[in-house]
Amino acid sequence: MLKKICTSVSKSYYYTGSTYPLNQRYLSVKIRPSTPTVTKLDEALQLFDEMLHRQPRPSITEFNRLITVMVKMKHYSTGLLLYKQINLMGIDSDLYSMNISINCHCQLNQVSYGFALLATVFKQGHPPDVVTYSTLIYGLILADQVFEAVELFKKLLTEKFCEPNQVMYGTIINGLCKVGHISKALELLRFMEAGSCKPNVEQYNTIIDNLCKDKMVDHALEIFAKMIEKGVLADVITYNSLIQGLCNFGRETEAAKLLVDMEEKGIAPSVRTYTILVNSFCKEGSVKDAEFTVQKMVQRGLDPDVVTYSALVDGYCLRGEVDEAKKVVDRMVERDLVPNIVTYSSLINGYCKKKQIDEARHLFLEIQDKGLIPNLITYNSLLQGLFHTGFLKQKEFQEAKIFLEEMINQGFSPDANTFSLLLHLTPSIRQDSPIRTILQRLAGDKRRDDKMFDSTSGFIS
């Protein structure tokens, strides 16, 4: 029985993942035709209070619409509290409100409470619908309980509790891909193709995207071709996944052909579409092609964003053309775009590779004045720059120590690249040097998890 499943999952789950998109009919609502759309929590709470004092009292349907607005703003706990207050006022919940409450619990990593509400739904005589079960399945997947989600899905199919829709199928397909079972996800896609609930572009997109991420881009292209044959129209997400997959393998020419293909089919490329190509061209050292791509997107009426320009900055820095990279940053500022830590880290790396360490130092201080927090790449670049410009000198040596200590104090866990960067220094470091102490501390922190330190610890013993 389904009741056994409800009991078996009635325990705490925890997950910090993305939010589940509610059923479309829950979203973008107005409370009354004469009431402006609520956009802030304070407005919603004020309206809720007014509704409670209204005579005659509004129906549960009106309260559902208001609480849906709050849930869309991700105020899940507030939504649950308001439903509790509504029930205390003698207003009974309906299936719609129960589904919203179940969704709130799932978003709060409380899927066990969601299943407890399912039991309440049965007791109140409300037959659960496909939204109820889809939300619970998604809650299990959020809680990394994909096996339980699949088992519930199978039970719904075999015992015909409800007819799964595209959302439910898509949720299971996404969950299977999440845990690396793409072959099982493909089986389910084929099952959909043979059944009455045909897959739409969203289910195909999930499969295509995960195949590309798993370096099976040719397989993804085959799925794409079959999707088109079945009359399912691709969208910009489909093309972005394929273009990214091709670019990851240095197949920019094929990716560019896909860009032409999507334009011929009337699918407008997005900023992300062009940015993928810009980044790939830059990684390959083809900055001219990247700049041409930026020009093309501007001609199409699209504005390059911070990610686009940051890729260009990195591309110029990889070629040692730091002055050109700086010009790109100036272009960003002229367009009222604020460079982020990725932009500046690339520029700092460029300065360090050109051994322009003073410029790198100055920029490092400047970004902190701007309120940006340096990341591991920033520190890596600076340390490498200091070491390569004369680390045996006392000034650079002391500064390297300061940066290394600051990196650790900022909570960064140095990776293998950071540590290997420092290893060649150890023979020149005095036994009583603080930097040797730091290196020993790093080795101690890493030795538990990284076998690399087993072969290198002799350098710092």
Give the pair of three-digit tokens for residue 85.
Answer: 């207050």
Would you say 243 and 277 are in contact if contact means Cβ atoms under 8 Å apart? yes
Residue 317 lies in a domain: no
71 residue type, one letter: V
Residues 6+ apart with CB under 8 A from 194: none
Is residue 26, in this structure, part of any structural domain at all? yes
How many domains would you assign to the chain? Answer: 1
Residues 6+ apart with CB under 8 A from 69: 29, 31, 37, 38, 44
Predicted confidence (pLDDT) per residue in 101-132, tens digit: 999 999 999 999 999 999 999 998 888 999 99
Residue with tokens 């040797």: 436
Q: What is the pLDDT of residue 249?
A: 92
SS3 call for 325: helix
Residues 6+ apart with CB under 8 A from 103: 20, 22, 71, 76, 114, 135, 139
pLDDT for residue 247 = 95
Q: Is residue 424 part of a domain?
A: no
pTM, two decimals, is 0.78
Residues 354 and 320: beta-carbon distance below 8 Å = yes
DSSP states of 241-301: HHHHHHHHTT-HHHHHHHHHHHHHTT----HHHHHHHHHHHHHTT-HHHHHHHHHHHHHTT
399 in any annotated domain? no
Q: Residue 113's domain spans which residues?
A: 1-126+135-142
Residue 29 lies in a domain: yes
179 located within any domain: no
Q: Is 63 inside any structural domain?
A: yes
CB 236 within 8 A of CB 265: no
Q: What is the pLDDT of residue 386?
A: 76
**Spatial CA neighbour of 233 closest among 221, 224, 242, 241:** 224
Average pLDDT by stretches of 10, the chain with 461 residues? 44 34 37 58 90 90 93 94 92 94 96 94 90 96 94 91 93 94 95 94 97 96 96 96 95 93 94 96 94 94 96 95 95 93 94 89 89 86 74 60 76 66 60 64 57 40 42
Identify the pLDDT of residue 154. Answer: 93
Are the C-beta atoms of 118 and 136 separated by less than 8 Å?
Answer: yes
Q: Who's near 254: CB < 8 A, 6+ residues apart?
A: 246
Asked if residue 40 belongs to a domain, the reply is: yes
